[in-house]
Amino acid sequence: MAPVDDDEEEDGVVEDEDEFEHLDDEEFEGIDQDTVNLRKGKDQTPPPLEITKIPLHLRTNWDSFYLEMLMLAGLAVYFLNFIAGKTKNSKLATAWFDAHKELLHKEFSIVGDDGQSKEPTENHLLKESEHTYSLWCSGRVCCEGMLVELKLLKRQDLINTISRMLSPKSDQILIKVTMEETEMDSFVFAVAQKKVASKLLKEQTDLNFFCAEKKGIDKGNIPPSLQVLSEIGEATSAVFDKTFCAVLNRYESNIEFIHFSDQYSGPKQQDQDTPTTLPETKKVLLFCFNVGDKGRTTVEDMDGMKELLQLVIHCIDKVKRIKLTKEAKMKAEKNRQRMHESYLKQTHSQRQEAAQLRREEKRRTEKERIMNEEDPDKQRKLEERENRREMKRKQPKMKMMKVKSM
Amino acid sequence: MSSHNSANDPRRPNKIHRYTPPSSTGPLEDPTPEYMNLLGMIFSMFGLMMKVKWCAWAAVYCSFISFANSRASEDAKQLLSSFMLSISAVVMTYLQNPQPMTPPW
């Protein structure tokens, strides 16, 4: 019986028949039957309780899904923030528009054209996205049009909202006035917050080239936090009249940058290869204003921007009246010539390479065509083309020699 | 009507230029919606293939962020399709594996 006791202690381990080898079959009759019966009996006693595995979703309560609940809650929060941010931005944009509508209608013939219909339409504040609104005004002396972009903060994006808590930013109004070709003399000028000024100097093609000098600039009566970048000192002094300086002093924190240029072509395209054509330039006046107090903008702040819009109008008229003296004009002309030449130099080698590539490609395509033709035709064409090429190659050398001999 | 004011009135109805939407400035523009769209698609495909639940949830978030940051000129159909894809990824992973997510801690 000892082996059986051991087995009971070992929790129902199935015995090997080898264990009973030492027991003689003769001695113990019917032992196999007994052991079989014993084994069966042991099996019948309930094995240690095993909880059968029921699928989880049938037995659980909702508590175990708490991570999923968290996810859904996060989505709900994001959605609520989206709605709240979108409404606030929309309110700010319409507040700006309502505050400035009158002034704009006085100055421009068409305010808020959407460019869609045949006839110019009015009062369309275009929604570029949930945080960008734009307004196009046109029909005025000396300027082609004025595009006002309200670059509001991304209040509809929760991630942006959180990152703004760490580094506050302001809503911005970017005004781009495109001057008519004849109405602006050639000069490049900018006044900006110090950090912004250095950034602009690096990024903007025209400022980078024309306003590299930092000395000898007549700053006039402007606040110290603003830096001036100027090409023609005369033009700069002309811009810095009483009204301009007064407004700058009063709205010092609201001015991000003001940039006048007759060679405006946007920021430098650093990742492209130098293009083979000079970038298109326009005569523009750019104004970038910060609204409100680092993100905490209210509807009233939008009202307070009216004076800055009046500054814009004032500048348009002022720039039209600026006439450079002869000297200044010569200097400006020289600078622009210099820019053109340096551009040509930069692209010269590239244009040569491009031309060579083109020539090679042409030869390759011709050869392919020849290869595809049948034999007699091929030979004829080969000969013809080879002759032509030899003539071409010889001719310029001959011309050069003629000149030399003379 | 304002003929006697025309000297002072700066408006010139004959000089109207129509609004032309500025051509997209390419890399200068904020690339967030495109990145988020791509990321959302990648997450949802990964979540579907590998049956990883948190990937599918991340895909839903990404497509939502992409939608919030999108420009009005962008195709609404693409945004909607990426949103539907991420939701289907979540549903599929839960149908295949109904257990709740286990936190990594």
CB neighbours of B9 closer than 8 A, spacing ≥ 6? B2
| B64: in domain | yes
In terms of phi and psi (left: phi > 0; alpha: psi -120 to 50; beta: otherwise), the region of B51 is left
Radius of gyration, alpha carbons of chain B: 24
| B93: in domain | yes
Question: Across the interface, do A109 and B12 touch by the CB < 8 Å criterion?
Answer: yes
Residue in chain A closest to B60 (alpha carbons) equals A75
Question: Across the interface, do B64 and A75 touch by the CB < 8 Å criterion?
Answer: yes
| B91: in domain | yes
Q: State the total domains in chain B.
A: 1
Cα A37–chain centre separation = 83
ipTM above 0.90, yes or no: no
| B84: in domain | yes
**C-alpha–C-alpha distance, residues A286 and A302, integer Å:** 19
| B26: in domain | no
Chain B residues whose CB is inside 8 A of the A140 CB are 10-12, 15
Three-state DSSP state, B30: coil
| Residue found by looking up tokens 């109004």 in the block | A173
Residue in chain B closest to A74 (alpha carbons) equals B61
Structural domain boundaries, residue B43: 31-99
Query: pLDDT 10s digit of each residue in chain A, 406 long?
Result: 444 444 444 455 555 555 555 655 566 665 555 555 555 555 566 667 777 766 655 556 777 788 888 899 999 999 999 999 999 999 999 999 999 988 888 888 888 888 777 777 888 888 888 899 999 988 888 888 899 999 999 999 988 889 988 988 888 999 999 988 888 888 888 889 888 888 888 888 888 888 877 665 666 778 888 888 888 888 888 888 888 888 888 888 888 999 998 888 878 776 555 555 677 888 999 999 998 877 777 888 888 888 888 889 898 888 888 888 888 889 889 988 888 888 888 788 788 888 899 999 998 888 887 777 767 776 787 778 777 877 887 676 555 555 555 5
What is the helix, strand, coil percentage profile of chain B, to 5?
65, 0, 35
| B11: in domain | no
Q: No. of H helices and E strands in chain B?
A: 3, 0
Residue in chain B closest to A118 (alpha carbons) equals B18
CB neighbours of A255 closer than 8 A, spacing ≥ 6? A191, A192, A193, A226, A248, A288, A289, A290
| B86: in domain | yes
Distance from CA of A388 to the nearest CA of B (A): 45
- Sign for the CA dihedral angle at A397, A399, A402, A406 comes to negative
